[in-house]
Amino acid sequence: MGTYVADDDRYDSLEYRNCGRSGLNLPRLSLGLWQNFGDDRDLEGQRRILCRAFDLGVFHFDLANNYGPPPGSAEANLGRVLAKDLGSYRDELVITTKAGWVMGPGPHQRGGSRKYLLSSLDRSLARMGLDHVDVFYSHRPDPDTPLEETMLALHHAVVSGRALYAGISSYGPSLTRRAAAIMRDLGTPLTVHQPSYSMLNRWVEDGLLEAASDEGMGVVAFSPLAQGLLTSRYLGGEVPSDSRAGVGRPSWRENMLTEEVLGRARALNQIAAERDQTLAQMAISWVLRDQGPRTVTTALVGASSVEQLEQNLRAVENTEFTEEELRDIDRWAVDSDVNIWWGATASKE
């Protein structure tokens, strides 16, 4: 791959939408750098994926301080690609990062304290070679830190110029409304919420999508493929050696792959085939389906290759569902204990 020059037609490929009531636009599909952009992956392969994504209209790249492995390496690798290829297009890119989950040892390498969030943001910027990110998120609610302190840190990130917008991730409906009220009083509205959402993980439909809409926030859905369960990889009941389950990724629990879940996935796969889609494509399309004011702004997809990226992006070609299709999907699209982001440090409040 020689000197990179972006495709002139890159904005013809994907629809993009306003993020809530802000002027920030996001493509209907965005690229998440959670799983495939650490030091365990070839940098040249990462470069090809990132540049191809941009050529296809994906200008939103989502990170967090702990993405890797090791933690921080996804940001550092994006920084290398920015320096070599994409840096001249920085004004077109939406680059987002987060802090909240464990980044290292000690009490100030996790949680929602002002100290951790702001020092983490400074380190993230250094790794990426940037002077600001477009959105800085509180990655999770922290029961050991006052919500006001966490929101004040997000506010300070914006007013100091380190971030253009503020967001939250994995907050439940009532916490979302409380956080939004605090930020409104501070003069820095919350622009976006990033929750997990898939056909096997529908918790956001129980008040969160409504809360985000009421508060003028866009919704960025992550893990629409339910950690790979909503792909063809596990339909035969075997665990591929190179899959998230096979390599023992921390985001995977052994009890996620049960016969009951496999049965649901196989039934959904049949519906997808009748729509001339893969299961993965239908799962992404379903997350992006029209739900009126509660419609998801963008869904984050990962990619381990250019080919996988291109297959996932085809999901936007058909996001319309008939009433009969939605009824059939609802028979099988039920919560299946695949939401790993609720535990001792987070709640559905």
Domain locations in the chain as residue ranges: 13-332
- pLDDT of 344 reads 33
- pLDDT of 248 reads 53
Cis amide prior to 293 (ω within 30 degrees): no
Phi, psi of 17 (to 5 degrees): -135, 155
Local structure of 64: helix, strand or coil: coil
Question: Of the CATH numbers 3.20.20.100, 3.30.9.90, 2.60.40.3120, 3.40.50.2300, which one belongs to the domain with range 13-332?
Answer: 3.20.20.100
Residue 159 and residue 163: Cα distance in Å, rounded? 8
Query: In 10 A of CB 314, how many CB atoms?
Result: 15
- pLDDT of 247 reads 46
Where does the chain show beta strands of DSSP type E?
16-18, 25-27, 29-32, 60-62, 94-99, 133-138, 163-169, 190-194, 218-221, 298-301
Mean pLDDT in each 10-residue stretch from start to end of the chain (349 residues)? 91 96 98 97 98 98 98 98 98 98 96 98 98 98 97 98 98 97 98 97 96 98 95 80 50 70 95 98 98 98 97 97 98 82 50
- pLDDT of 338 reads 74
Query: In 10 A of CB 122, how many CB atoms?
Result: 12
- pLDDT of 268 reads 98
CA gyration radius for the chain?
19
- pLDDT of 241 reads 54
Are 241 and 226 contacting, i.e. CB atoms less than 8 angstroms apart?
no
Q: Is 170 left (phi over 0), alpha (psi -120 to 50) or beta?
A: left
Instruction: Locate 206 and state its tokens.
Output: 């129980």
- pLDDT of 246 reads 42
